[in-house]
Amino acid sequence: MNLTIPDILFGLFAVVSLLCGVIVVYSRNIVHSGFALLGTFAGVAGLYGLLSMTFLAAAQILVYVGGVLIVILFAIMLTRGIENTGQSNPSRGVLPATILGVIAAALLIYVAVTFPWQVKTPAEIEASVPPLGNALLGAYVVPFEALSLLLLAALVGAVMLVRKEIKSDEEEVKS
């Protein structure tokens, strides 16, 4: 079996994302978990790139690493005191969950490897952005608009959730 450079890259990305995933799950320090999530997101972005989904890889980096991860790290810093890093991310029932996970993984991998997928010969590597844009504003325009509405609602909702408490604090100060 000849290993090409993309194959080696696939192995690299897969190992990085899975090892960082293990750190996310088993680390006792929530800050370590948060930073290991960066490796997982970056590895998954690399996998998208290998599948020639370049726009998705860029979106993964921009949205997950640039957005979701920053929000998570901010939440870590705003809630749990960083001074308590020894046991800031407690787990319960790690061993039974791990056993369950191993069983589930064995089952899923068995299905993934043995099922006769109808694999077509992969299409030529092509720029994925123009067809994606056409699809988003053509066949998928209604879900696309619904999604933009959802993002607006999430933004307003997040502001409302956090603002309510500040307002009640001010009222307490006044009274």
Partner 1 sequence: MTLTIGLPAFLVVAALLFVLGMICVLTRRNAIGLLMGVELILNSANINLVAFARYVENGISGQVFALFVIVLAAAEAAIAMAIVLAIYRSYKNIDVNLTVNLKE
Residue of the chain from 38, 59, 65, 85 that contacts partner 1 (CB under 8 A): 59
Q: Which of the residues 81 through 120 are near partner 1 (CB under 8 A)?
A: 88-94, 97-98, 100-102, 104-105, 108-109, 112-113, 117-120
Lookup: tokens for 122? 């992969």
Nearby residues of 37 by Cβ (< 8 Å), 6 or more positions away: 20, 24, 69, 72
Lookup result for tokens 């800031």: 88
Q: Is 61 in the site for partner 1 (CB under 8 A)?
A: no
Residue of the chain from 1, 86, 167, 175 that contacts partner 1 (CB under 8 A): 1
Backbone angles phi, psi at 4, to 5 degrees: -90, 170
Q: Is 149 in the site for partner 1 (CB under 8 A)?
A: no
Q: Is 173 in the site for partner 1 (CB under 8 A)?
A: no
Residue type (1 letter), 72: I
Q: From CA 98, how far away is CA 112, in angstroms rounded?
A: 20
Residue of the chain from 12, 63, 82, 127 that contacts partner 1 (CB under 8 A): 63
Lookup: tokens for 49? 């790139």
Residue of the chain from 38, 47, 65, 85 that contacts partner 1 (CB under 8 A): 47
Residue 92 or 174: the one with the smaller Cβ distance to partner 1 is 92
157 exposed, middle or buried (CB, 10 Å; 0-12, 13-18, 19+)?
Answer: exposed
Residue of the chain from 165, 167, 171, 172 that contacts partner 1 (CB under 8 A): 165
Q: Is 60 in the site for partner 1 (CB under 8 A)?
A: yes
Q: Is 6 in the site for partner 1 (CB under 8 A)?
A: yes
Number of shown-chain residues binding partner 1 (CB under 8 A): 87
Q: From CA 77, how far away is CA 74, in angstroms rounded?
A: 5
Lookup: tokens for 9? 């890259």
